[in-house]
Amino acid sequence: MAVLLPEDDHEQFAADLESHRRYAAELYASLRYLDPRWGLERMIAALSGVRDDLAQPFPPFPPTDP
């Protein structure tokens, strides 16, 4: 499931949902936050769980450790 809202609001929205997590833990664990202003590639990376530092046209090589 994806939530569309400006990137500046992602952290606050996640914090607001935290108080409701116990009611639907699986649902909240699967949420992905997207900014409608992002390009398609960045949205796909966010939906697939790719880290921000690797979601670039030329990620670092070798990739950094998590």
pLDDT for residue 59: 61
Write the DSSP symbol of residue 3. E
- Average pLDDT along the chain: 79
* pLDDT exceeds 70 at position 43: yes
Per-residue pLDDT, 66: 58
Looking at the predicted structure, is the pLDDT value of residue 35 above 70? yes
DSSP characters over 7-64? GGGHHHHHHHHHTTGGGSHHHHHT-EEE-TTS-HHHHHHHHHT--GGGSSSS--SSPP
Helix (H) or strand (E) holding 4: strand 2-4
